[in-house]
Amino acid sequence: MREEQAEPSRIVVLISGSGSNMQAIAQACKNPENDANIVAVISNRPGVAGLDRAEEFGIPAQTLDHTTFATREEFDINLIRAIDEHSPDLVVLAGFMRILTPDFVRRYKGRLLNIHPSLLPKYKGLHTHKRALEAGDKEHGVTVHFVSEDLDGGPNIIQAVVPVLDDDNEKSLQSRVQIQEHIIYPIAVKWFTEGRLSMLKGDAYFDNVALPETGLQLTH
């Protein structure tokens, strides 16, 4: 008797801008090794490049403009509705520049991922490249983590370390970090959709083993 095939994992990606991480994940989903599809891309900003990129991949893309809602809560309730229409297994924040309400985070607990351009827990928040340069750090990087109710504070899954060069400026450092973003986000998404990642009591697990605070670390 033929074994029943599970349906491919359904991913909804939230963006606010260029969508290059969404594109890296969409590209990875085309690989037959990956049993997952991005079923929808939702942007909180109209007219951003990420919406066009999604269309190029044939992915349904929609805008839910946060400025048309009176409160953060109202926006998030409508965002939940828009996401849940696509019955996702995983929700991926890819350059989604909004602080989420606790209700939103709780709804997708354990299946909500984010990418942040620093070696978390260092440099939560904005201007991470500038802050790493100003501090004279020799290493910087990027982290994919589960989302918890603390901003940029959920458990780390994977980190790529990027050396800071003597002649680096914010732009050069950012572009080398972005190259790594496009490598580690598809890896984390693949692990999740293969059922190898989980979050339990605030810790991240890979193949049922608790990950270190850094997450799995790739060094260059």
Residues that bind ligand GRF (CB under 6 A): 15, 17-21, 50, 94-95, 115-117, 142, 178, 181
Phi, psi of 160 (to 5 degrees): -110, 130
Single out the catalytic residue among 66, 86, 116, 182.
Answer: 116
15 Rama class: left (phi>0) / alpha (psi -120 to 50) / beta = beta
Helix (H) or strand (E) holding 22: helix 20-29
* Comparison of 52 and 207: residue with beta carbon closer to ligand GRF: 52
Token output for 40: 């929808």
Determine the Cα–Cα distance for residues 132 and 142; give it in Å rounded to an integer. Answer: 12
Per DSSP, 68 falls in state: G
Token output for 207: 């193949």
- In the complex, the smallest distance separating the C-beta of residue 50 from ligand GRF, rounded to whole angstroms, is 6
- In the complex, the smallest distance separating the C-beta of residue 145 from ligand GRF, rounded to whole angstroms, is 11
- In the complex, the smallest distance separating the C-beta of residue 79 from ligand GRF, rounded to whole angstroms, is 17
- In the complex, the smallest distance separating the C-beta of residue 70 from ligand GRF, rounded to whole angstroms, is 26
* Comparison of 36 and 115: residue with beta carbon closer to ligand GRF: 115
Tell me whether residue 129 is one of the annotated catalytic residues. Answer: no
Torsion sign, CA atoms 44, 47, 52, 58:
positive
Burial of 147 (0-12, 13-18, 19+ CB in 10 A): buried
* Comparison of 17 and 205: residue with beta carbon closer to ligand GRF: 17
> Which residue's Cβ has the minimum distance to ligand GRF?
95
* Comparison of 17 and 35: residue with beta carbon closer to ligand GRF: 17
By annotation, the residues acting in catalysis are: 116
